[in-house]
Structure 1
Amino acid sequence: MTAPLRINEALLIANRAFQPFQCVAWAPQDGNGELSLTIIDRTNTHIGRTQIPSSTYSDPAQLEHILEEARAELSEEGYTLQSWSMPH
């Protein structure tokens, strides 16, 4: 069984998942535990956005799944991402 991820670990993993683009992440102040990710390109243009509930980002398997989905969407839109795999 894999230990739950803390928010800082999830942020680091998400940041690496979207290279060479920048991943800006924040947790809304309403305290619902949701994590918002915005992917921006080198010209500071928003190219993707994902909302991740705390139940998802704390579970490594669910986090991997949602990051893979977001990467696939960017690839379908023509963006080239570096290869990535979920750290274990």
Structure 2
Amino acid sequence: MNAPLRINEALLIADRAFKPFKCVAWAPQDGNGELSLTVIDRTSTRIGRKQIPSSAYSDPAQLELLLEQARAELSQEGYTLQSWSMPH
């Protein structure tokens, strides 16, 4: 997958990256193109948050790196995530 990602594709990929937790993602309407991700547990408690610039979420390799970093941070905090790999 070398073509630039559209925001909807990036949102779907991010959602799958944090299973079994829920990933809420949105692009603020201030026009800066940044993507905000918040990972919440089953009790709706926020357990992680990541800001992703548009240059990163449109590039599959950069998005994969940022999602892997966010997953590693959650794992270090004791959260167990399902295995995941970037779709190609």
Q: TM-score, with normalisation over the residues of structure 1?
A: 0.98
Q: Work out the CA distance in 2 between the residues paired with 1:58 and 1:42.
A: 29
Could you give the per-residue CA deviations for residues 5-36 of structure 1, whole angstroms, max 9, x where no partner exists? 00000000000000000000111110100000
Q: SS in structure 1 opposite 2:69? A: helix
After the TM superposition, which residues 20-35 of structure 1 pair with which residues of structure 2 at under 5 Å, given as runs?
Answer: 20-35=20-35
Query: Could you tell me which residue of structure 1 aligns to residue 47 of structure 2?
Result: 47
Any stretches of 5+ residues in structure 1 without a counterpart? Answer: none
Q: Work out the CA distance in 2 between the residues paired with 1:75 and 1:49.
A: 14
Q: Work out the CA distance in 2 between the residues paired with 1:28 and 1:8.
A: 14
Could you give the per-residue CA deviations for residues 40-83 of structure 1, whole angstroms, max 9, x where no partner exists? 00000000000000000000000000000000000000000000
Q: Percentage identity across aligned positions? A: 85
Q: Where in structure 1 do 4 or more consecutive aligned residues deviate above 3 Å?
A: none
Would you say how many aligned residue pairs link Structure 1 and Structure 2? 88
* Aligned alpha-carbon RMSD (Å): 0.8
Q: Work out the CA distance in 1 between the residues paired with 2:50 and 2:23.
A: 10
